[in-house]
Structure 1
């Protein structure tokens, strides 16, 4: 039997939480909604972590405990959970900071259903990639090329990748070209297939 794909959904907006939980359920995930980071932390059973594929989707701006504070608390507790932030337009610099600290992705509201499900799939697959079994082709990449690849898979444009890694857009373009050459791919869809283990 396939393991459940659990998505913990933390957002203080009741309407957003309910509609997103419904969307996730119809997409084949098992949503577990929480109105705050504190409620999620109180309910999260660290013992069961890793028993199934899981991902945390959290708003970045919330009262009491923000998404960034929740991320810091997870890091402090040693909980490695793929994390996708949802954010309003003005919060992009915060979201870039969150990705520097290890978040898998961030989506600006409003986003499409497909953007959310793709971000969750990619976050779960990326965590799978960091398991001991690794695609041979990916072993050819330098650590920096791996970072660029992870951000390309997270659908980030070159400018955002440059901001997150603290390098120039030209350097990002160079890493992307080298990476595609090493992996023997010519297009973004081919690159995604290799990166997500379907190549």
Structure 2
């Protein structure tokens, strides 16, 4: 089984060092960078095989922000799963980043498990709607909007953030969640996660 490589981009040396250590301890190969341009230059020179890859990036950085990095990767046609780490004040930017295709964002400070879960989810095989592959015929019953809500629920986003990302009201999110759970035959969040990740 190939090892997942995580590219870590953050201008804070202490955060970079401690996070790299966490990821290496969890079994990931880690390449750490102090800035987005340094990462882009190095990434362009590398040969990329079949091994899974994921980018973990801060949003606020000097010279080139995480959002600018995301745009540049899109411009180059690089489909690298992207997890943003962000301070509380950056949440609106992170919501915009998810609208543009980021896999997830987590707020600093976060637990080790929150980051590891976000990376696992980002590296899971994808379906067209942008979420994990689910081998379950119950999912075929979901509307496209219910699938989007499912993806964001699995990414641990609260209803308010889901509403911001999808541009709908919190009430509408709650309605989609209720319909989605009824169609999937689940009553609790853990049951929903099992179905969404293909274990239900």
**How high is the TM-score relative to the length of structure 2?**
0.92
Q: For structure 1, which runs of at least 5 residues remain unmatched after alignment? A: none
Using the TM superposition, give the Cα deviation of residue 61 of structure 1 relative to its aligned residue in structure 2, in angstroms: 0.4
| Alignment of structure 1 residues 69-108 onto 2, 5 Å | 69-108=68-107
CA distance in 1, matches of 2:146, 2:85: 26
Match of 2:60 in 1: 61
Q: What is the aligned-residue RMSD (CA, Å)?
A: 1.8
Contact 1:129 1:196 in 2 (8 A): no
1:15 and 2:20 correspond: no
Contact 2:5 2:54 in 1 (8 A): yes
CA distance in 1, matches of 2:162, 2:5: 28
Using the TM superposition, give the Cα deviation of residue 122 of structure 1 relative to its aligned residue in structure 2, in angstroms: 1.3
CA distance in 1, matches of 2:53, 2:196: 19
Match of 1:173 in 2: 174
CA distance in 1, matches of 2:176, 2:47: 38
Using the TM superposition, give the Cα deviation of residue 139 of structure 1 relative to its aligned residue in structure 2, in angstroms: 2.5
CA distance in 1, matches of 2:45, 2:180: 36
Match of 1:38 in 2: 37
**How high is the TM-score relative to the length of structure 1?**
0.92
Using the TM superposition, give the Cα deviation of residue 164 of structure 1 relative to its aligned residue in structure 2, in angstroms: 0.7
1:195 and 2:192 correspond: no
Deviations, residues 32-89 of structure 1 (Å, cap 9, x unaligned): 1111111111121588546112211000000111000000001111111111101111
CA distance in 2, matches of 1:161, 1:73: 25
SS at match of 1:31: strand
Contact 2:146 2:176 in 1 (8 A): yes
Contact 2:134 2:195 in 1 (8 A): no
Match of 1:51 in 2: 50
Q: For structure 2, which runs of at least 5 residues remain unmatched after alignment? A: none
CA distance in 2, matches of 1:59, 1:193: 30
Using the TM superposition, give the Cα deviation of residue 129 of structure 1 relative to its aligned residue in structure 2, in angstroms: 3.0
CA distance in 1, matches of 2:157, 2:166: 12
Runs of 4+ in 1 over 4 A off after TM superposition: 45-50
Match of 1:151 in 2: 152
1:47/1:139 CA distance change after superposition, 3 Å: farther
Equivalent pairs, count: 196
CA distance in 1, matches of 2:45, 2:166: 30
